[in-house]
Chains A and B, each alone.
Chain A
Amino acid sequence: MTSIRSASRDPDDATDEREVDFLVVGAGLAGVSAALAAAEAGLRTLVLEKQPEIGGSSAMSGGCLAFAGTDIQRANGIEDSDALLFADLREVGRFENDEATVRAYVEEQLSTYAWLRAHGAEFGSMVEAASGQSAPRSHIVDPADLVRSLWARAKSTGAVRLITSARAARLCREGGGGPVAAVEVDGDGRRFTVRASRGILLASGGFAGNPGLVHRFAPQYDEAQFVCGAGSEGDGLRMAWSLGADFRDTAYIKGTYGKHPIDETNHHACLAVYKGAIAVNQNGVRYVDESISYKLLGDACMAQPFASTYQILDRDILESGDDRVRILDFQRRLEEGLFIEADTLEALAEQAEIPADALAQTVARYNAFVARGADDDFGRKHLVHNHGALRKIERAPFYAYPSTAVVFGTYCGLCVDRSMQVLDVFGAPIPGLLAAGEVVGGLHGAAYMTGSALAKAAIFGRIAARTAAEGGAR
C-alpha cells in the first residue's frame, strides 16, 4: 500500500504525476465500455492498458453475449425475459452465485444491449442456445470489432485517453487509509502516478494466464490447456487483495469442454453436444449428462482417461450446426480436418482407437433412451440446459470430435456491491475502488452461462462508470 502526496494537474503532462476524474485499468470490453460510458457522463477518463494493443481476452473471444428479451430474439420467435434469464443464471450457477450481483446483471442487460447497438455493435440476425440457456440467447458479434468500435467512440468524445504498454502496479490510498485515489504505473521504462478524483476501476480481466495463481485454487487443472489474453495475469486481483478486498467463486475455476486437444489454430470450443451429440471417453463409454454447462462438462472430461474424450454425432447433428457461431461451426471444422469421419460407427471407433463394440453399444443404448424419453444413465433430458428435444445418432456418416477442457477465463474474483464497488473482507466498500468484467466474482457461481462473461464485461463496465459519475465510488 502506498500513499500519494501531490499531483500534477495536466493529464497530458509528461511529469511523473497526472490527474484525471476516472481511471480505468485494462482495455478489454469492460474497460472500453466503462471509458465510453464515463466520457458520456462527462468524466475526464484515462485508460491504462499493459499490452501494446487493446482488446484483452474480449477481442479473442467467441463473441457470444447473453441478453434476454431483445428484438433479435423476437424476430426469431423466441420468448425470453429478465425473469427467465435470472432463473437460468442462478440455476446454472447452482445458487452459489451472489443474488445481488446476478440481479445487477439482469436489470441492466437490456439497456446495455440497446446501448451497444446504439454505439454501432452489429449483432448477427440469429441467436443460438448454449450452455445454461433455457431460451436461445447467445447474441453473436465480432468481438474484436466491438472493442475497437467502442474504443473509437470513446476516443471521439475527446474526454478519454489511452496509454498502452502501461501496467498498473499498485493502488494508493489517500493519506494511507483513505479512499483509493491513485495508481502507480509502470510504463515507458519508468514508474509514474495517476490520481483519479472520482474512482479507479479495475477492469484488468482474469488470471488464466498465470499458471501459478490458477494452481493455488485449481490444481486439478494443471494439465489443462489455457487460452486467454496475454494480460490476464491477475494484476487487478492482487492490487485489490493488498487493500483487503474479498473474493469469491475461486473453487469453481473450470475449463470449458470442447477444445480440440491437439489443434493449435482454433482456440474456440466446439459443442456438438448442445446439438445432440453424446460425449464418450476413450473406452467408448458415456460419462456425463451432456446438456449441462460446458464448465461442468470440462470438469467431467478432466476426470476421464487422458483428460480427453470424443463428441460423437451423426450427419443430421453435424448439419444442424451454425458456422456463424464459433462453438457450433461444425462444417468449418470438418473442412479443417478436425472431425474424425467414417461411414460406420465401427470404422469411426477404429480411427479413434475406441473399442468398436463398446461404442456401438453406447450409441444403441443412448438411441433407445431417446426413443423412450428417459436417459437411465445420466438423466439427460434436453440438448442444452432446458432447451431442445434429444435426437438419435443414426444417420451416416458418423463423426467424432476429440475434445478436452480449456481454461478461457477464471470467472471468479472480487466481491462487489450492486454499484460495482469492491468490498473488503468485512463486507464494507473500499472507497474509490470499483471493479468490472472478469475480475469480478459472484455472477457465475458454480458454473457458467454462455455469453454471460462478455455481456457482464459491458454491463458491469457501464454500471461502474455510472457509479463514478454519480460520485458513489468515494
Chain B
Amino acid sequence: MKVAVLLAGVADPRHPLTLRSSRPPEIRRDNPLVFSPFDEAALELALKIRDGRRDTAITAIVAGGAESDALVRKAAAHRLDSVARLESEALAIWDVGATAHGLAEALRGLATRPDLVLIGREFGDFDDGALAPCLAAALGWPLFDLAQFARWEGDELILVRDGRSAEERLGLRPPWVASVTNDRRNRLRHPLMKNVMEARRRGFDVLTVAPVVPSATLKAVAPARERTRREPCRFLTGSVENQVAELAAYLQPWRALR
C-alpha cells in the first residue's frame, strides 16, 4: 500500500505567538513550529499501517516555506520512503477550497498515485476541519473522517473511529482520503536516534504547484482578544482539609453546568 501523509505544523504553543505580519508565510517564519497533535496522529497512523504490512511505502509532504525544513526532517526521522516540502506560498491557506485544490494538484504530481491520503483533522493553524472533506472532493475520492486507528485484517486495511455509541470500522478499497484525529492509540512514537541523525543528512524535494486563485483575500491577521479573569489566580492555603473544603465550595456552582 502507498500512503501519503500531509502535514502542516502549527505555531508551538509553548512560545508566545508573534504576530508582526498578516501574511501566513511570514507568521510561520516568525514562530517556532511543531507538528500539531493531528499531524502527529496522521503520521503515527501511517507508521501503524506500515508496522502491519512491511511493504507499505510512506511519503510525507509538509506544506510550508523553508522555515518548515526542520519539520520535514522530523518526519523523515521515522525512516519514511520519501519526504518532500510543498512550497506553501502558492496555497492561499486561509481559503480551504483553494488550498484543497493546491494539495490535490501536488498529490496528482507524485510519481506514483497514493492509495491512501492521511491528513490531520485540522491542517495547520488556519484550518478548522474543512480541508480534509474539500481535499477528498477536489480529488474526487471518498473520505473517511476522524479516523482514530488502523489495522490490517488479512489484506484489507480497516480504519476505525468511535461513534457516539459504537465503534465504526470501514474496510477500504483505494483510493481514499482519511482525516485523522488524535487518540491514545495513535500517539506519535519517538524516532530512533540513528534515524534522526540520518534524517539530518538526508536531502528532500521541494514541490511547487501553480498558484491557486483564492475566492477571498486575506485582509489581516490580528491577535485574538484576551479573555479577562474574573478573579486573580491564588494558591489555596491552610491545612489540606481546609484546602479541600475551599475547593469544593468553589466548584459547587459548577455542578449545575453539567
Contacts and interface: CB of A to CB of B under 8 A. Distances in A.
A352 B190 contact: no
Interface stretch (B64-72, B159-167, B171-179, B192-200): B192-200
B191 interface: yes
Given A337-B187, A337-B189, A262 B196 contact: yes
B191 A262 contact: yes
Smallest CB-CB A-B distances: 6 pairs: A308-B193, A262-B190, A261-B193, A306-B193, A306-B194, A282-B194
A261 B196 CA distance: 10
A282 B193 CA distance: 10
**Interface SS of chain B: helix, strand, loop or mixed?**
loop
Between B79, B193, B195, B197, the greatest number of chain A beta carbons within 10 A of the residue's beta carbon is seen for B193
B188 to A, nearest CB: 9
A338 B194 contact: no
A308 B196 CA distance: 11
**Interface SS of chain A: helix, strand, loop or mixed?**
loop
A351 to B, nearest CB: 9
B192 A404 contact: no
A402 interface: yes
A158 interface: no
A384 B11 CA distance: 44
Interface in B127-175: none
B236 to A, nearest CB: 15
Interface of A: 260-263, 282, 305-308, 337-338, 352-353, 402, 404
A338 B190 contact: yes
Between B187, B189, B190, B196, the greatest number of chain A beta carbons within 10 A of the residue's beta carbon is seen for B190
A122 to B, nearest CB: 13
Interface in B59-78: none
Contacts of B194: 282, 305-306, 308, 353
A225 to B, nearest CB: 11
Nearest to B187: A337
B197 A306 contact: yes
21 contacts: A260-B190, A261-B196, A262-B190, A262-B191, A262-B196, A263-B190, A282-B194, A306-B193, A306-B194, A306-B197, A308-B193, A308-B194, A337-B187, A338-B190, A352-B192, A353-B79, A353-B192, A353-B195, A402-B192, A402-B193, A404-B193
Contacts of A353: 79, 192, 194-195
Nearest to B79: A353
A352 B195 CA distance: 10
A308 B192 CA distance: 9
Nearest to A282: B194
A337 B195 contact: no
Contacts of A261: 193, 196
A260 B190 CA distance: 10
A260 B189 CA distance: 13
Given A308-B194, A402-B190, 20 more contacts: A260-B190, A261-B193, A262-B191, A262-B193, A263-B190, A305-B194, A306-B193, A306-B194, A307-B193, A308-B193, A337-B187, A337-B189, A337-B190, A338-B190, A352-B192, A353-B192, A353-B194, A402-B192, A402-B193, A404-B193
A301 to B, nearest CB: 11
Contacts of B196: 261-262
Nearest to B190: A262
Nearest to A404: B193
B9 to A, nearest CB: 16
Contacts of B191: 262
A174 to B, nearest CB: 44
B41 to A, nearest CB: 13
Contacts of A404: 193
A113 to B, nearest CB: 25
Nearest to A260: B190
A450 B2 CA distance: 50
